[in-house]
Structure formats: structure tokens, C-alpha cells
Structure 1
Amino acid sequence: MDKEMVMQWAKMLMSYKFALDEVSTKLTILNEELQFIQHYNPIEHVKTRIKSPESIVEKLQRKGLEVSRENAAEHIRDIAGVRVICSFTTDVYRVYDMIRSQGDVKVLEVKDYIRSPKPNGYQSLHLIIEIPVFLSDRIEHVKVEIQLRTIAMDFWASLEHKIYYQFHEAMPTSIREQLKETADMIGALDKRMLGLKEEVQRYSESTFPKASAMTLSPPAPVPNLK
């Protein structure tokens, strides 16, 4: 890869970095606003990452596509990634509703692996959004992948990822089954903690009706945008 091509790829990835900055800022503002108004923040923490040029090239080659910046922008939707960790499943859908309500955010795709987990037990809500990045001489519409999950889901996914890369495709059946069982336990734990939170809220509302600030509403249905 010559110097000019390196500069072109760096320029492209810079736009993705700016898109991540915008998404992170939006999430911070929404979280702090809810903390100020309702004394409750649904987001525990946010992680961001950008794929390396080597990873992008490898993915294009796996897809059988010519290695180019144009193909990368068109066919790889997770060059820029944001992982949003929430306390409860209701917070996941609440944050999703807040993201899709932003006027400059276009939701391109939604995959709900919380209501419909993957066969291995993986749970998360995946979004592909498009967000405008205002540069000095143009506006670029950049795709960003957002993964929303609870603390428990993130714990499981992180360990499963490490175990998977120990075995790759040759993971023993017994370990695969134990991971699936653990994922089911994680799902049950999330439900139990949510039930506990709702019980605490009901107690607070009956005992201190004016002091209770947290409000829960059923999560809105997630449209199938595949």
C-alpha cells in the first residue's frame, strides 16, 4: 500500500472517527439529561472502536469483493462500532427509542437478539444507523453499528468471545452446551433484577410518591428492518 493510498484510507477512517464522536456525544447528552430530570441514567458505560485497515481488507476479501474504499463504505457496515452497556433490558429499549428519535439519525437495520437470541445464546440489540458528519467542504453520511446490551449480556459475550477464539470452529460440544446454559442463566438473572427494580419502584412510589423519579414503560416493539 503506497503512501497516497494510506492517506486516502486514513482520511476515510477519520470520517468514521468523527461519526463515533457524534454518537458518543449524543448518548452522553441523553444520559446526563435523564440523570438531571429523572435522577436516573440508563447507560452504565459506552465503548467505541474502529476497524483497522487490515481488518477491513480481510473482510472485503472474505466477501469476494475488490479491496477499495468505495466497497468498504458500501459493504462493510461495522467499520465504526459503539457498544452501549445498560443496567436493565428496559433501558436497552429506552436508549434505542432515544437514538431513533434523533432527527439526524437514520436507522438502516435492526437485529433484536434479546427477544430472539442466537442459537449459541448470544443476546444484544444491534442497530446500523447512518449519521451525517459535517466536514469543512462537504457532508458525509457515515454508517455506525450500535450494540446495546445489559451488563450481564456483555459479561457473557466477552467471555464467549475469548473461549471461541481458543477453539475457533472446533469448540467441544460440552463447552458449547455449557455456554448456552450460562446464557439462559444470564437471561433469567436480567429478568430477576428487572423484577427487583420494579418492586423497589412500586415501594418507593407508595411510600414517597413525590420523591420517586424513575418511570418504567413497556419497551416499544422493534421493527424488522433487515
Structure 2
Amino acid sequence: MTSPRSYPATIAAPVEHELVIKKSRFITRVEPVASFEEADAVIARIRKQWWDARHNCTAMITGLLGDQARSSDDGEPSGTAGVPMLEVLRRRELTDVVAVVTRYFGGVKLGAGGLVRAYSSAVSQTLDLASLVHRQSLTQVTIDVAHADAGRYDNILREWVLHHGATLGDPRYGALATFEVWVPAQELDRLADDIAAASAGSVVPVIGEERVVDVPG
């Protein structure tokens, strides 16, 4: 069996962190975004917030495979800010994220190597505070049960997804209770077997579409 394709992760929510190096303040904001346009809006907002700062350096990666990237040194010596920030995002295997490091100059020059380390550390330390959202290619499975059995299957499925790399969608309640589970391809047979065992063969999961789904880390 071929291994499932891996996708870059993103972050669940914005994170902010401040670092002081030789009297310079490095205020880092990292936010999840869905496009370059959203990233540009974040950058514009932060530039307005920290309008009196010497530099607002940026790095962004977007796209399901993390194949679109941009960075800016914003007046720092070329290659000392934006690219090192971008490298941290790539090393962490992230996408759909923008990082902005605002620098208030403290009067002490750091040199090119010092700047690279400062901007890299600023982004890295901020990402250490972030909650990750992983992305997997999962297959939709729907399971219809009688309302009287809904509580039992809800418990079974909540426990099942914890151990099989799967995630639950929102249940729907019509004539029957319909549960939605997003399952890795290699776990589909196992789910069918476990549901058959739980229902004495009376409940048959229905296989649906495959898509890339966000899974909180």
C-alpha cells in the first residue's frame, strides 16, 4: 500500500511574541491566512498598528502544498530578515501563514549574522506558542442509525477517531441520525469491520468523497 500523501500544516489561531536583543525590540505576529490578499491585509494592519517602528519585515507561504511564498526585508540589509523568516516557516513545514516581525531599533547594530539570528529566533519562538492544524487526505464516510441508537454510536465514533487518525464531522438528524467521519484510506476497512461488529452487521457505512481536511494537532 502506498503511503498517504503528506501536506504542510498551518496554525489554528494568531500568536504574538516579543523578543529583546541588544535593546532592539522584535515584536512578532504570526497569523493563519488563506491567500496572499489576506496576508497583505494582515501586514497592512500591523504596519498601521506599529507605524513608528523602524522595520516591519514579512514572510508568507500559501497554497495547499506550500508552493507560493513571498518575503520582504523592509529596509533591513538584503537577505537578513525576510528570507530567514521564510526559512523558519518552511522548516516547520507550514503553509497558509504570514509572519510579521516589527523591529524597534535599540541603537546597537547587530550585524548581518546577528540580524539573521534575531529574525529567525523571533519567528521560531513565536511558532513555539502556536497550536498546529494538520492536513490530511481523508475519505468521507456516513453512517445512518436510528435515533434511539444515536447516543451509543456517537460514543463509539468519538472513541474510534481518537485511535485511527480520523475526525468527526457534524451529525445530522432527519428520519435517521447521520454521522459523518473523515477517515484515512488505509483505515476504511477497519471502520467497516468495527461498525459491523457494533451493529451485528445491521449498519453499513457509506463511502463518499475524498478531500484534504484540517485536523487539529
Q: TM-score, normalised by structure 2?
A: 0.22
Larger Rg: 2
- Identify, as 1 or 2, the structure richer in helix: 1
Q: TM-score, normalised by structure 1?
A: 0.22
